[in-house]
Chain A
């Protein structure tokens, strides 16, 4: 009861979008107001999107430079390019020396990081707020004029190859993850590992790298998201100074993705003499990540496998002790997200029993309404994780950038959250019947 009232109240406080016009520059900002924070979206002449979120509580500013490129943009035979590019972005540009970016941020007491995923390459800095222009200078230089040469490419390649080898050596299940992605994702874009293939990496040329950089590291394929103690007008002026003179790139090539329907049942097994215990991967094809079903599926993820009190954890690990380890999640992919589960067991017999137990849990989800206390628990856990995505300046800048790349708008997190919290027991029964059918993908791992 109390909860509902609070939600309604929140609905009134927060709120929709206000459109403004800044005449001469042609910048059309889109703005979200107030609770839980305000943010404004701009588009520069060269296509760069900029998000600014002011917060004056501490003298900190966080900068996220996100490029809409990842391993999905790689061609067969050229895998590993996206991650290699991330590495090269620290190796110097026209006015900034090798690793100077890192030492400058370090010296002022700041922090920095970078990540590459299937569909994003993100560079981030959290620094004292008087260092904003310094970060803009650094980020714009490597967007405009990265210095790529044979020696740098070779060094980065060798580092990544060493990294692939050490990951393989330390995780005997790694190759099963990769094989499973091939089974689960029919399109090449999603079925190869982000880190790349060793042989492909060896063959990459300097020209390949330059082409990739020139195609994807352009203002019209990026979003610059800044949160913290900033003066919006002033920051925008500086951003335009450093970024608007970078020429717009060509149109971004379209990535071929297989179209639905692609449903069919797959059950394969692989043998390995490296793995200490047998286990399996299990997957389902789900809804489009921006469909309404996705809100329900996100809660199903919590009900089934988030935390020690989730249904699968309680049944497989605690109560029946069928599994030694489990992890899983929903991956946002197009045109359909995927549900993924990885389990380790003591022996092959337990593998069979665990699979039957999972199917029976899915059956329960499809045939009986979830008790309201349990649903509320999952929603509370979900809410905590959701809110936690924007609690400090860096996570907020990242959240805004990622949501922008995902939906191409400035999302209002409070409104979005309400859609998850509105999910009902009936929704859960309906949606689980729609997606957890016969067509599962299973990869058994047998220990030799």
Chain B
């Protein structure tokens, strides 16, 4: 031992000597040794959003960006999965995908030709609260693009052949997605969190697709696809007057209709920790989703929640990652995030861990949350989280598509102008006390936890702290409960 350390001393002296000799050659400038001190962040000028309404109730939002020959259009229709008829989940998804599959005078291939002609791309996504259509095209084809959109909305043909094609695509998409443990775990978590709420319809599996028919599709479409149930957001080189004149020209024939009252109230939070398991034979690692229903984005407490999320699991520098991956070496990754709905948000943590340490990982996640609810987060950590959020925000609205998406999401969630304009300010005002106070009010310690992994390795390790595990198959069907004593 002693001998070894002496040798090290001799060696290091030698190295020092050598480097001293060599130093005139490799000397470096002083400024290279430490990182430069950044200047304060410049002010963010958030693009202005203008709006107007057409007589038929269609709301139009315009963001003027004059340096590109491209227009990005988003259409929101409040016909998300939660509005699918009772017993027919998947209907909202089918309807949304059908609008580009044929009109009274254009076949689905002609629609594809038209979209390509305007240099365009058209895509559809369906959220529990709304359907979102994204259409990007060259600015010189604004008229042609709006004309196409109006045909798709006003004269859809809903041919049986096309319905079958979409149903087949939906089926195979779901089958393919079901091979991903993340997809299965997340869907199961939402299914249990929204157990008694229409939001649950968004978690359908491939078996229900066969129930969707033309007979039910047509009334669903005409009841929900109405101008007074929709918003259009346009970003590009255009002013409010031109934009509203053009939109009016193509969409004023769209008839409004009395809408049914909106969704029921917020879903309730889960009240007692509930652990569930889905078997994925031979899976190399275990996937954990851990979450609960919390306040909606429109609630002003969302800002301390955003900061808390950042401290806990926003990046690889956050607590969960540093603990579960770097320190305990349980996980390949561990992050937290917030997903927004109109009437609530879901705060959740997802981690990919070694299958032998699932229970220990869940325990560690709970410990991290307890720490946040028991002890105020040091100010420097809060400030670091805030500077991340503030620094990152402009990156999320830089491209035309991202900017339009962000505005569309705000409108769809009914967040109001202030959310947009005062976002920076509201983040700046978050303090350690506010985060602490909020963390004690929201139900983080009674989550739904879903684990997807190899049952041979995962299941027999429970029992230390988790005494009961609900078992589900990969279609979300309940199979039974394991009790550990």
Complexed CA–CA distance, A241 and B31 (Å): 9
Closest to A414 in B: B69
Knowing A95-B32, A108-B388, A307-B116, say if A130 contacts B41 (CB, 8 Å).
yes
Chain A: CB-nearest residue to B384 = A107
A149 CA to B38 CA in the complex, in Å?
Answer: 32
B398 at the interface (CB under 8 A from A): yes
Does A129 sit at the interface, judged by CB under 8 A?
A: yes
With a cutoff of 8 Å between Cβ atoms, the chain B residues found around residue A130 in the complex are 38-42
B36 touches A133 (CB 8 A): yes
Q: Which of B68, B389, B398 contacts A60 (CB 8 A)?
A: B398
A109 to B397, CA, bound (A): 13
The contact string, 1 if C-beta is below 8 Å from chain B, for chain A 84-100, is 00000000001100000
A232: Cβ under 8 A from any B Cβ: no
CB-CB under 8 A from A36, the residues of chain B are: 67-69
In the complex, residue of chain B having the shortest beta-carbon distance to the beta carbon of A140: B32
User: Which residues of B are found within 8 Å of A391, using beta-carbon distances?
Assistant: 68, 70, 399-400
Q: How many A-B residue pairs have CB under 8 A?
A: 136
Asked if B390 CB lies within 8 Å of chain A CBs, one says: yes
**Interface contact A380-B138, CB-CB below 8 Å:** yes
- Tell whether A46 is near chain B: CB-to-CB under 8 Å: no
Give Cα distance in the complex from A104 to B315, angstroms: 12
A58-B398, A130-B39, A134-B35 are contacts. A107–B317 as well, Cβ < 8 Å?
yes
Measured between beta carbons, the chain B residues less than 8 angstroms from A448 are none
Contact A110 B395 (CB under 8 A): yes
**How far, in whole Å, are A6 and B140 apart by their CA atoms in the complex?**
9
When distances are taken between beta carbons in the complex, the residues of chain A under 8 Å from B166 are none
A58 engages B394 (CB within 8 Å):
yes
Interface range on chain B (Cβ under 8 Å from partner):
35 or more
Judged by a CB distance under 8 angstroms, whether A40 is at the interface is no
Closest Cβ of chain B: how far from A236's Cβ, in Å?
Answer: 16
Contact check, B394 vs A59: say whether CB atoms are below 8 A apart.
Answer: yes
Q: Judge whether B395 and A37 touch: CB under 8 Å.
A: no
CB of A114, distance to nearest CB on chain B (Å): 17
Interface residues of B in 133-150 (CB under 8 A from A): 136-138, 140-141
A309 touches B387 (CB 8 A): no
The answer to whether B399 touches A108 (Cβ under 8 A) is no
- Distance in angstroms from A393 CB to nearest chain B CB is 7
Measured CB to CB, the nearest residue on chain B to A128 is B391
Choose from A109, A376, A377, A388 the contact partner of B391 (Cβ within 8 Å): A109
Question: In the bound complex, how far is the Cα of B391 from the Cα of A60, in angstroms?
Answer: 9
Q: Is the CB of B36 within 8 A of A106?
A: no
Task: Tell me whether A2 is interfacial, beta carbon within 8 Å.
Answer: yes
A94 near B32 with CB under 8 A, answer yes
Interface presence of B119 (CB below 8 A) = yes
* A109 with B69: CB separation less than 8 A: no
Chain B residue at minimal CB-CB distance from A37: B67
A202 → chain B closest CB, angstroms: 25
Contact residues, A388-410 vs B (CB, 8 A): 388, 391-393
Query: Hey, which chain A residues are within 8 Å of B116, CB to CB?
Result: 307-309, 377, 380-381
A58 neighbours in B (Cβ, 8 Å): 44-45, 394, 397-398
What are the residues of chain B within 8 A of A133 when measuring CB–CB? 36, 38
Cβ contacts under 8 Å, A59 to chain B? 41-44, 394
Q: Which of B35, B117, B387 contacts A109 (CB 8 A)?
A: B387
- A346 adjacent to chain B (CB < 8 Å): no
- Asked whether A128 and B41 contact (CB < 8 A) given A107-B384, A110-B395, the answer is yes
| Choice from B45, B140, B315 contacting A2 with Cβ under 8 Å | B140
B485 at the interface (CB under 8 A from A): no
Question: In the complex, which residues of chain A have a beta carbon less than 8 angstroms from the beta carbon of B161?
Answer: none
* Nearest chain A CB to B145 CB, angstrom units: 11
Residue among A37, A102, A134, A242 making CB contact with B38, cutoff 8 Å: A134
Q: Tell yes or no: B173 within 8 A of A by CB.
A: no
Indicate with 1 or 0, residue by residue over A119-138, a CB within 8 angstroms of chain B CB atoms. Answer: 00000001111110110110
A2 cross-chain contacts in B, Cβ below 8 A: 140
Quote the shortest CB–CB distance from A185 to chain B (angstroms).
Answer: 32
Decide if B32 touches A128 in the complex (CB within 8 Å).
no
Q: Is A384 an interface residue (CB 8 A)?
A: yes
B38 touches A131 (CB 8 A): yes
Q: A94 to B28, Cβ gap below 8 A?
A: yes
Q: Which residues of A contact B34 (CB under 8 A)?
A: 95
**Residue contact B35 to A381, C-beta cutoff 8 Å:** no
A383: contacting residue among B29, B32, B136, B138, CB under 8 A: B138
Tell me if B282 counts as interface (CB < 8 A to partner A). no
A67 CB → nearest B CB, Å: 20
Residues in chain B near residue A352, CB distance under 8 A: none
Docked-complex contact A387 and B44, CB < 8 angstroms: no
A128–B397 Cα distance when bound, in Å, is: 13
Task: Tell me if A291 is interfacial: C-beta within 8 Å of chain B.
Answer: no
Additional A-B contacts beyond A3-B140, A6-B140 (8; CB < 8 A):
A36-B69, A57-B67, A58-B397, A130-B38, A130-B39, A137-B35, A140-B32, A380-B116
Residues of B within 8 A of A (CB): 28-29, 31-36, 38-45, 67-70, 109, 112-113, 116-121, 136-138, 140-141, 315-317, 384, 387-395, 397-400
- List 9 contacting pairs A-B, 8 Å CB cutoff, sorted by A: A107-B388, A110-B391, A111-B395, A308-B112, A314-B109, A376-B117, A377-B113, A381-B116, A383-B69
